[in-house]
């Protein structure tokens, strides 16, 4: 017998402006559900999740949450402005009985200390704090809207492990195929305002979706043929009794109305890349190149050779130096030592991660044409800018829309359109998958597979790297980089683990020999991480502060008249004393563990 839902949305309808966004959408969540909520950009996924979270109200329909069930919602743009620190923000999401130490643990796992001031946070840091806030209480239901946005691969792999260990029911929106496939057991597809449910995880979704769309197209074709038959009878058929004629006319009118009201699936992006002249067979030959900034090595004695047609993926944690490595390999930045030889007749087209080439006040049309004529040259052929816009799912009405008014997905498509319009034989793509929906990602992958030139791509999307890359260069730490043949999964198989190295792990095996793959550098000796060093240095002061707080509270509670004067104040100070005492014990234990680790590492 199926479990009763703990959250349900029924017949949800919502109109935004003149657009009918949701037209009878449904969502049912039972205990332990792991649901992927998928659909095209702009289909209303985030809106439906907000309705489920109680953030906004639908025009009509029913929202039910079982009494006593806790729901936590991760928005795409969290607001921390009312809080003094990231820790205060996370702790504000806890309720009585929740583990307060889990808040600090999650922040540290996500690369934050808890002392950050919200006004100084980047968008990515704010998202990390918001993730810690929703995960800390371990609620009955987690509603997660793009949780991997702004996360690097180590953080994504950690988050995947963390979510899979929770007993919470989860509804998840993500453009990361691997993340969805690994975590979900059911899929809800939001398409043209309605939802369909597949009782399989995301790995089975795309085959099912294609079969549904094929059946729709067949049904539409039958309807078109039926209309043609009725029109033919109306024009050429033998006149029958008047009542019969009237009925046939009504049938035809109904069929036409049915066809008119049938909402077809959204069109697809039509991507083409402007090919330049053919480059030489050798594109890049880098021999023992090194680059440091101050005392910090970014690249150390790295050797590689890139041949025409290669698709090279570059992966590593944020701050590892992926962009610096690209600049070294493309000649934009000179190495401190070593040699980089570039091939002949290279024409580079670059898509930067920050979308820096998009001025906010520039219109969409001017961004594509550089403010010039209305015609672009694509593969040597002239194409009107309106037609090129349509290929990337922009409407003619958007031609004069400022870049600042575009959604994240639209900005992603625009930067791709700009980069692909440039003649090139080398494509350098820095996080090209950001904000792209799954269908657009499919088309980008097909385009790169057919592209005759060379591709260098930085990405945190493991599935994308598997589908595109012929080799993967991975940051090993301390300026060391190694190259592995194949995609991301091949790298993991050869290396023994992903970008997020487990704490207790033997030294990695050398990569399999392959063309242009150097021998792996020996594993670096384990050292205290920056966070461990920082904790070791700051914990004594934190412990001293807690001891002072404990002494102050004990002195206040020692006043025999406090309880008689204010029982509420007595209870408040007693609770604060218990909390401070527990925090001191935890801090002392953490310091002791780190001090033992330091002594072991220093021999």
pLDDT in tens, 377-409: 776 678 888 888 887 778 888 888 888 877 666
Residue 178 burial by Cβ neighbours in a 10 Å radius (0-12, 13-18, 19+): buried
CATH match for 282-354+424-495 among 1.20.58.100, 3.40.50.80, 3.40.190.10, 3.40.50.300: 3.40.50.300
Residues of the chain with CATH 1.10.287: 530-601
41 is in an annotated binding site: yes
pLDDT in tens, 10-23: 999 999 877 789 99
320 is in an annotated binding site: yes
CA dist 490 and 471 (Å) reads 9
475 is in an annotated binding site: no
42 is in an annotated binding site: yes
pLDDT in tens, 482-511: 999 989 999 998 888 888 655 533 334 444
In angstroms, the first-to-last Cα distance of the chain is 60
Average pLDDT over residues 545-561: 85
45 is in an annotated binding site: yes
CA dist 407 and 435 (Å) reads 9
Question: pLDDT-derived band of residue 436, with 50, 70 and 90 as boundaries?
Answer: confident
In this predicted structure, the answer to whether residue 38 has a pLDDT above a threshold of 90 is yes
- The per-residue pLDDT for 257 is 62
Question: pLDDT-derived band of residue 253, with 50, 70 and 90 as boundaries?
Answer: low
Residues of the chain with CATH 3.40.50.300: 7-207, 282-354+424-495
81 is in an annotated binding site: no
The 10 Å CB-count burial string (b at 16+, else e) for 438-471 is bbbbbbbbebbeebebbbbbbbbbbbbbbbbbbb
Phi-psi region of 533 (alpha: psi -120 to 50; beta: other; left: phi over 0): alpha
Closest among 299, 276, 250 to 348, alpha carbons compared: 276
Which class in CATH covers the domain with range 7-207? alpha beta
Strand 60-65 and strand 71-74: the pairing is: unpaired
78 is in an annotated binding site: no
Within 531-584, strands assigned E span: none
Residue 313: phi and psi, rounded to 5, are -95, 140
CB atoms within 10 A of CB 87: 20
Closest among 377, 397, 373 to 388, alpha carbons compared: 377
61 is in an annotated binding site: no
CA dist 134 and 129 (Å) reads 9
Q: Six-digit token pair at 125?
A: 């840091």
318 is in an annotated binding site: yes
What is the CA angle 498-535-134, rounded to 5?
60
In this predicted structure, the answer to whether residue 354 has a pLDDT above a threshold of 60 is no
In contact, 115 and 91? CB cutoff 8 Å: no
Gyration radius from the chain CA atoms = 29
Residue 250 burial by Cβ neighbours in a 10 Å radius (0-12, 13-18, 19+): exposed
Cα dihedral 218, 222, 228, 229 in deg (nearest 10): 160
Q: What is 530-601's CATH number?
A: 1.10.287
pTM for this model (two decimals) = 0.67
- SS3 call for 372: coil
201 is in an annotated binding site: no
338 is in an annotated binding site: no
322 is in an annotated binding site: yes
412 is in an annotated binding site: no
Distance set, CA 162 to CA 29, 167, 212, 484 (Å)? 20, 11, 34, 28
**Lowest mean pLDDT, pick from 75-89, 231-245, 307-321, 408-422:** 231-245
317 is in an annotated binding site: yes
CA dist 488 and 469 (Å) reads 8
């Amino acid at each position: 017998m199926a479990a009763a839902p703990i959250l349900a949305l029924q017949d949800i309808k919502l109109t935004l402006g003149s657009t009918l966004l949701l037209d009878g959408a449904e969502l049912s969540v039972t205990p332990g559900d792991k649901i992927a909520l998928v659909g095209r950009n702009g289909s209303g996924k985030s809106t439906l999740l907000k309705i489920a979270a109680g953030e906004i109200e639908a025009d009509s329909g029913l929202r039910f949450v079982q009494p006593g069930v806790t729901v936590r919602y991760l928005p795409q743009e969290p607001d921390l402005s009312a809080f003094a620190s990231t820790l205060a923000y996370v702790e504000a999401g806890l309720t009585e009985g929740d583990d307060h130490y889990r808040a600090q643990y999650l922040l540290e796992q996500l690369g934050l200390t808890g002392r950050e001031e919200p006004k100084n946070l980047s968008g990515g840091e704010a998202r990390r704090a918001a993730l810690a806030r929703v995960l800390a209480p371990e609620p009955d239901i987690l509603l997660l809207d793009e949780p991997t946005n702004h996360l690097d691969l180590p953080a994504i792999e950690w988050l995947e492990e963390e979510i899979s260990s929770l007993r919470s029911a989860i509804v998840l929106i993500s453009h990361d195929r691997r993340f969805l496939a690994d975590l979900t057991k059911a899929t809800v597809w939001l398409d043209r305002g309605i939802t369909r449910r597949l009782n399989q995880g995301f790995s089975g979704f795309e085959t099912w979706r294609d079969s549904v769309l094929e059946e729709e197209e067949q049904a539409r074709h039958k309807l078109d043929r039926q209309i043609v038959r009725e029109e033919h009878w109306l024009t050429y058929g033998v006149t029958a009794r008047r009542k019969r004629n009237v009925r046939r006319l009504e049938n035809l009118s109904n069929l036409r109305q049915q066809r008119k009201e049938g909402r077809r699936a959204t069109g697809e992006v039509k991507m083409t890349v402007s090919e330049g002249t053919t480059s030489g067979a050798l594109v890049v030959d880098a021999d023992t190149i090194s680059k440091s900034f101050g005392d910090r090595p970014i690249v150390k004695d790295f050797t590689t050779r890139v041949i025409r047609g290669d698709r090279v993926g570059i992966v590593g944690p944020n701050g590892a130096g992926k962009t610096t490595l690209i600049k070294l390999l493309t000649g934009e930045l000179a190495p401190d030592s070593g040699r980089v030889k570039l091939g002949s007749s290279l024409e580079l087209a670059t898509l930067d991660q920050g979308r820096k080439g998009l001025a906010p006040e520039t219109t969409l049309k001017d961004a594509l044409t550089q403010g010039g004529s209305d015609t672009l040259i694509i593969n040597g052929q002239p194409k009107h800018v309106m037609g090129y816009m349509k290929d990337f799912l922009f409407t003619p009405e958007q031609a004069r829309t400022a870049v600042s008014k575009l959604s994240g997905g639209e900005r992603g498509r625009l930067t791709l359109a700009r980069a692909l319009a440039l003649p090139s034989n080398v494509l350098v793509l820095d996080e090209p998958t950001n904000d792209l929906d799954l269908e657009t990602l499919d088309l980008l992958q097909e385009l790169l597979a057919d592209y005759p030139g060379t591709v260098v791509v930085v990405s945190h999307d493991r599935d994308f790297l598997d589908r595109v890359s012929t080799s993967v260069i991975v940051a090993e730490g301390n300026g060391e980089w190694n190259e592995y043949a194949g995609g991301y999964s091949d790298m993991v198989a050869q290396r023994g683990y992903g970008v997020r190295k487990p704490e207790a792990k033997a030294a990695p095996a050398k990569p399999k020999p392959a063309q242009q793959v150097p021998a792996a550098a020996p594993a670096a000796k384990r050292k205290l991480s920056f966070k461990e060093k920082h904790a070791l240095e700051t914990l004594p002061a934190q412990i001293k502060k807690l001891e002072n707080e404990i002494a102050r509270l004990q002195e206040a509670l020692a006043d025999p008249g406090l309880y008689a004067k204010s029982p509420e104040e007595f209870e408040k100070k007693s609770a604060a004393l218990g909390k401070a005492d527990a925090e001191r014990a935890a801090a002392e234990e953490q310091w002791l563990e780190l001090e033992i680790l330091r002594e072991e590492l220093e021999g």
